[in-house]
Amino acid sequence: MSKNVNLKQLMKKYSDCHFYVGFSGGADSTFLLCELLEMKKKLQDLNITAVHFDHGLRDRAKHDAQWCQNFCQKHGVDFKLITLDIPQKLQNNRNIEAVCRERRLACYQTFADYKNAVVLLGHHQDDRNETMLIRVLRGGNVSSITSLRAEQNIGEVLFLRPLLDLKRSEIVKRLSEKYKITDFCYDESNDDEKFLRNFLRKSFFRKLFKMFPHSQKGIEHSLKYLTNDALFIEGIAEAEFKNIISSDEKGQKFLMVNKFLLLHDAVAFRILNLFLLQQTSHLVHCDYKLFLRTMKLLRNYGNSCNEAKLISLKSRFVDKREEKFFLQLHNNSLKIIENTNKLNILTSESIKLNWRGGLVKYFNGFGKFQIECYSTNDLDNFVKIKKRAYKNNDKNVVYFDAEKLPNVLYLRHWQHGDNIIPFGSKSQKKLKKIFSDLKLFKSDRYKVPILTAENSDNRNVLWAVGCKVSSAYAIDDTTLKIVTIKFIKAE
């Protein structure tokens, strides 16, 4: 049986589709494109577009793009060049390969708008072996380590990998002997063994297969069996998914928590991933850390969580600092909330407090603030309050030197970038870090009233109610007038 029988079968199965071929100009993608052109001689209606990505990372990138364009012009193939400008997208020391892969995937997703679009990639057996071990080393499950499959739906697009049964050495040999092509593009970064995939390709697998030749066939068999196992579990997850998903009165989908908690973790993990991908248009996927956080939240609160609890989700294709989506647990529903500005519990509203008037002010239904002043004119009370301030253990009461304090204070919600100089410290600390140390859920962070001495844009916080108080305007031995602010939580 011919090793590339997969390609013929796939082309016959999807002959009415438009094929977008990932064309780097390397040996594998060039061979794939040549094989398609060979078949086009028999299937005249075969629609092919070669897609080349310029990542903006290598000096030879322009040369490779031109080589690919010339090749396509010579063979009458529609050519599409996409510039990604990856350096502008790198942040937080992210893995370059991961960013490139995510950006390519995001571009491929746009092809879903085209009729009968199918993406063909030149991944081969060596790629599959490397991916398997990389995913194992990163703690992947059986679906993860068998993720390179001949047919695979990712988002709205079908991806085909017809060369998975061929080794790269076989591809290079056939490309040279059958199509007389030896000047294909070569990415010199593939020689840099600081990248895990390159180390596995250049050193690890070469030594392994040389010392233990049988291991190559063993890996091939294991991948086949593991892929079957993965497909079985994924099939169960897809069937169960239909049974535990529902819609609210507005038509928004949610997972029924009581049924979700009864599932085996292997199935629950995949269902949560399906849910995230579906509800965020494949911008968010589930890794195991997110799964564990979610299950901890669900098991702590079950299906009777009367107060909404949130888990922030990171989008793969936007600025990583942007928290575009949240998982929200409320009662028996687990749903996706997009953008914190749409949540009822959040508001950018800022409330002025003229504390010298001794006002009692309600703050967005969370409670009220009772303000009182004490001076040496009433010495007995003043002394009592001062002693109480020095020994204060009540996190809902703060004491400030009234003569140092500005006339107007502001109340608002927590904002990213807020800082505070905690009492007893001389250096600033981010409130986000304080909240994290206190293990506050995201929903609870936004419900903490924030007191500042300036306008709502000021990041220097006086008091994160119930959490930390600033050392600014603290009373001391010279204080002659004390203002107390007490927070009374709404019933």
What is 305-323 written as a DSSP string? EEEEEEEEE--SSS-TT--
CATH code for residues 5-211: 3.40.50.620
| The pLDDT value given to residue 172 | 95
Domain range list for the chain: 5-211, 230-342, 351-489
Tokens of 279: 């509800």
How far from the centroid of its chain's Cα atoms is residue 324's Cα? 10
Degrees to nearest 5, angle at CA 185 with 184 and 189:
145
pLDDT of residue 268: 97
Q: Kindly give the pairing relationship between strand 450-452 and strand 461-464.
A: antiparallel
Count each helix (H run) and each strand (E run) in the chain, helices first.
16, 22
Give the sign of the dihedral formed by CA 91, CA 92, CA 96, CA 100: negative
Q: E strand or H helix at 22, and its extent? A: strand 18-22
Sheet holding 78-83, edge to edge: 78-83, 47-54, 18-22, 117-120, 157-160, 151-154
pLDDT at 342: 40
CA distances from 252 to 140, 333, 338 (A): 31, 11, 12
Q: What is the pLDDT of residues 389-447, one digit of tens each?
A: 888 888 889 999 988 888 778 888 787 778 888 877 778 888 888 888 887 766 577 77
Give pLDDT tens digits along the chain (491 positions): 344 446 777 777 887 889 999 999 999 999 999 999 998 887 777 889 999 998 877 788 899 999 999 999 999 999 999 988 766 555 555 677 777 888 888 888 877 666 688 999 999 999 999 999 999 998 999 999 999 999 998 877 899 999 999 999 999 999 999 999 999 998 888 888 888 999 999 999 999 999 999 999 999 999 999 999 999 999 999 999 999 999 988 788 999 999 999 999 999 999 999 999 888 877 788 888 999 999 999 998 877 777 778 888 876 544 444 456 888 888 889 999 875 444 444 444 567 777 766 555 556 556 778 888 888 888 888 899 898 888 888 888 999 998 888 877 888 878 777 888 887 777 888 888 888 888 776 657 777 888 888 654 456 788 899 888 988 888 888 999 998 988 887 65
* Residue 438 CA, distance from chain mean position: 23
107 CB neighbour count, 10 Å cutoff: 17
Question: Under a CB-based contact definition with an 8 Å cutoff, are residues 109 and 282 in contact?
Answer: yes
Nearest to 227 by CA among 165, 306, 146, 281: 146
| CA distances for 173 relative to 27, 124, 177, 201, angstroms | 10, 14, 6, 18
Residue-level length of the chain:
491
The H-or-E segment that residue 288 falls in is helix 288-301
Nearest CA among 281, 287, 335, 280 for reference residue 310 = 335
Rounded CA separation 278/157 (Å): 13
Q: Which helix (H) or strand (E) holds 211?
A: helix 205-211
CB atoms within 10 A of CB 306: 7
Long-range contacts of 133-136 (CB under 8 A, 24+ apart): 133/200, 133/204, 134/196, 134/197, 134/200
Q: What is the reported pLDDT for 280?
A: 82
Residues in Cβ contact with 133 at an 8 Å cutoff, skipping those fewer than 6 apart = 200, 204
Residue 89: what pLDDT? 56
Q: Provide the 8-state DSSP code for 438.
A: T
- Listed in sequence order, the residues at least 6 apart from 84 whose beta carbon sits closer than 8 Å to its beta carbon are 53, 54, 55, 56, 100, 103, 104, 107
Q: Which amino acid is at 110?
A: T
Q: Containing H/E element for 389?
A: helix 379-390
